[in-house]
Structure 1
Amino acid sequence: MKKVIETLTGAKNDNVDVQRRRFQRRAGDTCMITVEGRAYPVQDWSMSGVLFEADTRTFNEGASIPMTLRFRLGDAVSNVDVTGNIVRKNARYIATQFDPLSSLAQQTLHQVIDESANAQDAQTQQN
């Protein structure tokens, strides 16, 4: 038993987010996603994909779907058109992995991240 405990203690967990994720997940941004004309709330997103809440019965794993991410940036709304594959789903959520992003989509997503960081900094300075 001692040998088993020593082996498990020294084992690396390959499910650690730092090892599994290429990009940090973002959950605090005001964001919706539109698929086939219907809007859905976003649970979280990253530069490589999005997790959104939907009636999962209407989506198939492995399907490629065009999507529009809609971010509120101050008083404006910024739209980012992407295509992604459904990599998994459960009773409530759809997880997609983006196809390679256009340079405009990358630029807009980086702008969202930068503006969110600036807003957090401004909020911190006010407190």
Structure 2
Amino acid sequence: MFSRFFKTLNANNNNGQSLPFSELETHQRRHQRRDNDRCVALIENKVYPIQNWSIGGALIRADERLFSVDDEIGLTIKFKFENDMRDVTQLARVIRKNSNNIAFQFAPLTGKGRKNFESILNECMNEEFAHSQMAQ
């Protein structure tokens, strides 16, 4: 009775695209996206707001005409913390674009690059926790 229903069941992935239920597992993200951090992307001396980021990539707000799919670009993410600013520079490839959004996938991280991102991620989570405690 429900087999037909489950075959046609669709679910949304993180990109807002509809996927058949059977394909959902293969399209899940490898890394959790973060969208509350104070950070911007710096590309060729131009600053772009970051919609969200993860250790695997970033989504920025920018005119789609400025980039082409498969462009490889040096991207620096500048993070603003309470008492510090930190930068991470990473080679990235444009994997998707639409009106006002450009999605980048980072090149495979070196050990040092992964440690830099993990350190920043820890600092972001520490600040979130500190702010949540002050709000109580």
* TM norm. shorter chain > 0.5: yes
Aligned to 1:70: 78
Aligned to 2:35: 27
RMSD over aligned Cα, in angstroms? 2.2
How many equivalent pairs are there? 125
Deviation of 1:60 after TM superposition, in Å, equals 0.5
CA contact (8 A) 1:73 1:112 kept: no
State the alpha-carbon separation in 2 of the partners of residues 6 and 38 from structure 1. 47
State the alpha-carbon separation in 1 of the partners of residues 2 and 128 from structure 2. 48
Aligned to 1:54: 62
Aligned to 1:12: 21
Tell which deviates more after alignment, 117-126 or 90-99: 117-126
Normalising by structure 2, report the TM-score.
Answer: 0.81
Amino acid at match of 2:93: N
Structure number with greater CO (CA < 8 Å, separation at least 6) is: 1
The percent of aligned pairs where both chains have the same amino acid is 30
Runs of 4+ in 1 over 6 A off after TM superposition: none
Deviation of 1:118 after TM superposition, in Å, equals 1.4
